[in-house]
A and B are shown apart, each in its own frame.
Chain A
Amino acid sequence: MLTFVGLWQWTPLYTLIYQGATRAIPVSLYEAAAIDGAGPVRQFFTITLPQLRNTMITSMILMVIGGMTTFETILILTQGHPGFSTTTTAYYMYSEAFQSFDFGKASAIAVVLVVIATAIGIAITKWSGYDKMASTLEGV
Chain B
Amino acid sequence: MVFALAWLVIVLAPVYVLVLAAIQTQPNYNSQGPLSLPKAVTGANFSAVIHAGFLHYFLNTLIVTVAVVAIVVLLVPPLSYSIVRGRSVLSRGAFRVFLLGLAVPAQAVIVPMFYLMTKLTLYDTFAAIILPTAAFVFPVATLIMSGNMRDITTDLYEAMALDGASSWRTFRQLVLPLSRGGIATIVVFSALTAWNGFLFPLVLTQSSSVRVYTLGLFNFETTYGINVPEISAAVILSIIPILLVYLFARRSLVQGLMGVGGR
A contacts, CB < 8 Å to B: 8, 11-13, 16-17, 19-21, 23-24, 26, 28, 54-55, 57-58, 61-62, 65, 68-69, 71-72, 90, 93-94, 110, 113-114, 116-118, 121-122, 125, 131, 133-138, 140
Contact = CB atoms under 8 A, between A and B. Distances in A.
A24 B150 contact: no
B102 A117 contact: yes
Contact of B263 (A28, A62, A94, A138): A28
B253 A19 contact: yes
Contacts of B172: none
B261 to A, nearest CB: 8
Contact of B144 (A12, A24, A58): A58
A131 B98 CA distance: 13
Given A58-B144, A62-B143, A20 B184 contact: yes
Contact of B99 (A17, A55, A122): A122
A69 B103 contact: yes
Interface in B10-27: 10-11
13 contacts: A11-B7, A16-B253, A23-B254, A23-B256, A62-B140, A69-B105, A113-B103, A113-B108, A116-B103, A125-B95, A133-B83, A133-B85, A135-B152
Nearest to B152: A135
Contacts of B102: 61-62, 65, 117-118, 121
Interface string B195-214: 00000000000000000000
Nearest to A20: B181
Contacts of B192: 13
A24 B150 CA distance: 12
A23 B181 contact: yes
Contacts of A65: 99, 102-103
B182 interface: yes
Given A54-B147, A114-B100, A140-B263, A24 B105 contact: no
A67 to B, nearest CB: 11
Contact of A58 (B105, B108, B143, B260): B143
Nearest to A56: B147
Contacts of A138: 153-154
B2 interface: no
Contacts of B84: 133
A54 B80 CA distance: 15
Given A13-B189, A16-B188, A114 B103 contact: yes
Contacts of A117: 102-103
Contacts of B108: 90, 93, 110, 113-114
Interface string B96-119: 100110111101100000000000
Nearest to B184: A20
B148 interface: yes
A137 B153 contact: yes
Contacts of B188: 16
B257 interface: yes
A57 B253 CA distance: 20
Contact of A26 (B96, B146, B182, B263): B263
B64 to A, nearest CB: 20
Contacts of B185: 16-17, 20
B151 interface: yes
Contacts of B95: 125, 131
Interface string B144-180: 1011101111100000000000000000000000000
